[in-house]
């Protein structure tokens, strides 16, 4: 599980750097165009890893529907709304408003995806959301319209987070590639049709590279961690990205450092402490199932063997689970959706 935490944290660092860097690129292109290039960059980064080495079954209709929702909300709507807000507000303020994604993910996962949230997790959500509110109140907001746009983007990404965390027949690289290719193409076409003015080849190349690193690599790392930790816990770790965005805003855009930001960072740390201390354990039953996802053989749920492969090595392939009933501490991953 420790590797899943690190994946989400690195994903947060990469995505956090994208906000101030995108602010720079927005001076020469519109939000649809930039969103399209960023997600096409993500598709380019994941293309070499998206195709399986051996034939795999066609995804079920349920997983196709989940992927379609993730593409629409997380790939098409979310980035355009965020970039439109970024064009109207300060990069630091937009970075801070991205904390709302944690709240949106938690509420949607509890309401629609049967994810259990204990008292410590709810407390962590409240504390970390409060940190974002504190910071937002103490900085230049850029106006209520910018805040509304970013808030709607966070709602879209909250839906995306929950949908991708339960896709079990496609790898994170495959879901990211499909999302990037489809959403990137759609938004780039809309940008050409709706946004006036050209942009330089240097800016376009910069946007593609930024998309490869901050969206492609970040999304794959996040989705992999999310499938092992559950949507809410992985999102709480990923919610460090606004603070990373703040640091880059200070360094790249010369935005002012405010004392309240230090206090909010302390709240953030206390929220992570609450999250790390949450324990959920009870007797539960697993139904027989066949699916594909990243797994290891020392977790108590994957008893099949591979000659020459150590139990702690993570790998992905189609596999079957027999019906099983046991009790142990667990998080709401692909095997625990009660």
**Among 328, 226, 227, residue whose Cα is nearest residue 280:** 328
Mean pLDDT of the chain: 79
pLDDT in tens, 118-171: 788 788 888 877 877 776 665 555 567 888 899 899 999 999 988 988 887 787
pLDDT exceeds cutoff 70 at 321: no
pLDDT exceeds cutoff 70 at 20: yes
Dihedral angle sign, alpha carbons of residues 12, 15, 21, 27? negative
How far CA 273 is from CA of 54, 90, 158, 278, in Å, comes to 42, 30, 22, 9
Band of residue 282 on the pLDDT scale cut at 50, 70, 90: very low
pLDDT at residue number 226: 75
pLDDT at residue number 330: 43
pLDDT at residue number 177: 92
Q: Which three-class secondary structure string do you get for 143-185?
A: CHHHHHHHHHHHHHHHHHHHHHCCCCCCCHHHHHHHHHHHHHH
Main-chain dihedrals φ then ψ at residue 329, nearest 5 degrees:
-65, 135
| Number of Cα atoms under 13 Å in the Cβ half of residue 40 | 17
What is the spatial distance between Cα 91 and Cα 218, in angstroms, rounded to a whole number? 19
pLDDT at residue number 111: 80
Q: Work out the percent of the chain whose per-residue pLDDT is above 90.
A: 28
Give exposure, 90-113, as e/b (b: 16+ Cβ within 10 Å).
bbbbbbbbbbbbbbbbbebbbeeb
Query: 317 forms bridges with which residues in the sheet?
Result: 293
- Runs of H (alpha helix) within the chain: 2-25, 31-50, 61-70, 78-88, 91-97, 100-112, 119-137, 144-164, 172-194, 201-210, 218-229, 231-238, 241-253, 259-276
Q: Within 10 Å of residue 311's Cβ, how many Cβ atoms?
A: 11
Residues 6+ apart with CB under 8 A from 185: 36, 40
**From the centroid of its chain, how far is CA 12?**
8
**What are the boundaries of each domain within the chain?**
2-281, 284-329
103-162-232 Cα angle (round to 5) = 45
Q: Hey, what are 220's tokens? A: 């794959």
What is the spatial distance between Cα 84 and Cα 38, in angstroms, rounded to a whole number? 14
**Among 321, 273, 268, 318, residue whose Cα is nearest residue 299:** 321
Dmax over Cα atoms in the chain, in whole Å?
61
Is residue 86 within 8 A of residue 19, CB to CB? The reply is yes
Band of residue 328 on the pLDDT scale cut at 50, 70, 90: very low
pLDDT exceeds cutoff 70 at 195: yes
Is residue 263 within 8 A of residue 134, CB to CB? The reply is yes
277-279-280 Cα angle (round to 5) = 160
pLDDT in tens, 175-190: 889 999 999 999 999 9
Decide: helix, strand or coil at residue 39: helix
């Amino acid at each position: 599980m420790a590797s899943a935490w690190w994946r989400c944290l690195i994903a947060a660092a990469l995505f956090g750097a994208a906000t101030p860097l995108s602010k720079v690129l927005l001076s020469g292109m519109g939000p649809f165009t930039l969103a399209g290039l960023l997600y096409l960059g993500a598709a380019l980064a994941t293309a070499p890893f998206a195709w399986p080495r051996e034939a795999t079954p066609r995804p079920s209709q349920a997983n196709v529907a989940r992927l379609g929702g993730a593409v629409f909300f997380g790939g098409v709507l979310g980035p355009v709304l965020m970039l439109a807000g970024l064009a109207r507000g300060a990069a630091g303020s937009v970075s801070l408003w991205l904390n709302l994604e944690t709240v949106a993910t938690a509420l949607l996962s509890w309401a629609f995806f049967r994810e259990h949230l204990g008292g410590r997790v709810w407390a962590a959500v409240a504390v970390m959301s409060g940190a974002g509110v504190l910071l937002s109140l103490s900085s230049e907001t850029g106006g209520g319209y910018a805040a509304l746009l970013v808030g709607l983007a966070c709602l879209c990404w909250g839906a995306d987070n929950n949908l991708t965390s339960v896709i079990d027949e496609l790898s994170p690289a495959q879901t990211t590639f499909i999302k990037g290719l489809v959403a990137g193409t759609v938004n780039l076409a809309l940008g050409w049709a709706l946004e006036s003015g050209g942009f330089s080849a240097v800016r376009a190349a910069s946007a593609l590279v930024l998309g490869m690193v901050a969206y492609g690599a970040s999304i794959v790392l996040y989705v992999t961690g999310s499938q092992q930790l559950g949507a809410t816990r992985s999102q709480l770790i990923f919610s460090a990205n606004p603070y990373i965005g703040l640091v880059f805003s200070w360094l790249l855009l010369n935005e002012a450092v405010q004392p309240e930001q230090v206090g909010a960072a302390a709240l953030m740390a206390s929220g992570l402490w609450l999250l790390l201390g949450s324990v959920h354990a009870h007797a539960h039953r697993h139904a027989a199932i066949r699916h594909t996802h990243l797994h290891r053989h020392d977790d108590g749920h994957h008893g099949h063997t591979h000659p020459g492969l150590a139990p702690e090595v993570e790998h992905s392939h189609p596999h079957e689970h027999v019906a099983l009933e046991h009790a142990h501490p667990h998080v709401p991953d692909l095997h625990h959706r009660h």
